[in-house]
Amino acid sequence: MQVFIPYASPFDTAMALKGDRRFLKQIQETRQILSAIYDPTRGYANHPVTKMYKNHTQWLYLYLMVFEFVRDNNLISARFTSFCADRCRPEWMTDELCDQHKRRLYTKNPQRYPHWAHLGTSLENWYVVNGEVKKYINGKIILQNKN
């Protein structure tokens, strides 16, 4: 379960993922995350990605809308909605986090994303929960030194 953000702009992200099977998965998984936030009795309520977006539902909803507009080839609406999303972008959505998402996408499909090869590969999924970056590999949290 992941909301990929190789770019802080939802429009740029949607265009980067368009044509990849992950594009439609973003719509499905974003809907599941929003459902888990609004109805904690549903699945994924305790997933780190749900916790990550719990206080950023406006941005996440706009991200979803951008993907739906791009899917329907309504690029004018997608650009405008992305512009609105930029106004409520979570503060933790940094270049470092976006680059990590590029590494994950490159790792998953190097033929589709060769332009991110210079960033290297990574098996880690990063989630920002309560201001702290939590790193997971294969669904298991990586314990980090706090020196």
Bridge partners, 132 (sequence order):
129
DSSP 24-79: HHHHHHHHHHHHHHH-TTSTTTTSHHHHHHTT-HHHHHHHHHHHHHHHTT-HHHHH
Contact between residue 19 and residue 105 where contact means Cβ atoms under 8 Å apart: no
Q: Which percentage of the chain shows pLDDT scores above 90?
A: 91
Higher pLDDT, 1 or 10: 10
pLDDT tens-digit series, residues 42-71: 889 999 999 999 999 999 999 999 999 999
Task: State the pLDDT at residue 53.
Answer: 97
pLDDT tens-digit series, residues 96-127: 999 999 999 999 999 999 999 999 999 999 99
| Nearest-angstrom CA–CA distance, 80 and 32 | 24
Take residue 21 and report the two structure tokens written for it.
């099977």
pLDDT of residue 145 exceeding 80: no
